[in-house]
A = this chain, B = another copy of it.
Amino acid sequence: MNPRAPQGYDPHAFTPFAVTVDLAVFTVRDGDLQVLLVERGQEPYAGRWALPGGFVLPRESAETAARRELAEETGLSDVSGLHLEQLRTYSEPERDPRMRVVSVAFAALGPDLPEPRGGGDAAQAQWRPFRAVGALAFDHDRILADAHDRIGAKLEYSCLATSFCPPEFTLGELQQVYETVWGTGLDRPNFRRKVLATPGFVEPVPGGARLTGGRGKPAALYRAGTAATLHPPLLRPTSPEGRSR
């Protein structure tokens, strides 16, 4: 039997695989980048933390499955506003010691999401500081690292950062998203100038300033604009390794 079958898949030639989704769900809370993890209750990797995920059901696409998992794990009734992005697919033969599992990984982002409800299966779910995450089960270390890389890179040339913010936010909050994800400090006046000079990135809320909480001068409120990408990009300061600009 020719396993290649370029002119039509031979129904008898394929090997069945289990297909799962794994989610790297990020949020910014208390100025800290946090990621949603679940604790495994069974072997292998019992007691280890892992990314939430699960099987793709017979009539689901991976995206649908990921959004269903996201709703289940975060406990939010409406996850339609959360940014969900396919990362890549992990298919190393030995990545799950029990069987052949191909996993489609997703990155998800949200503004200060609520505490997860404990899963009904005695597995606990928790927000954990991204930079304090230890060794995870399976190849989830790598998936998480890839997800963080992708998020960090996308902040540079997309409006993704607003996905980490509530519907109305200050430029200081937006800047903190960048600083939190990148792990760097940014010059406040320059950040402000750059964001406001990028058409469609943010737009001011009609007539509001925020007084109550702040310790300093009240900041103006903005909401996400209509643009999807940033031109020109908002580059990280230390990002250009070799030479820098």
Binding site for B on A (CB under 8 A): 2-9, 11, 13-20, 38-44, 46, 52-63, 69, 72-73, 86, 88-89, 91-93, 96, 98-102, 104, 119, 121-123, 125, 157, 199-200, 227-229, 231-233, 235, 239-245
Given contacts A5-B121, A245-B231, contact A16 B13 (CB under 8 A): no
Number of identical monomers bound together in the oligomeric complex: 2
List 19 A-B residue pairs with CB atoms under 8 Å apart, sorted by A's residue number.
A4-B55, A5-B121, A6-B123, A7-B40, A8-B42, A8-B44, A9-B98, A13-B55, A14-B18, A15-B18, A16-B16, A61-B91, A88-B88, A200-B243, A227-B242, A229-B243, A229-B244, A231-B242, A232-B245
Query: A76–B1 Cα gap in the complex (Å)?
Result: 23
In the complex, chain B residues whose CB is within 8 Å of the CB of A232: 235, 240, 245
User: Is the Cβ of B119 less than 8 Å from the Cβ of A15?
Assistant: no
User: Is the Cβ of B55 less than 8 Å from the Cβ of A9?
Assistant: yes
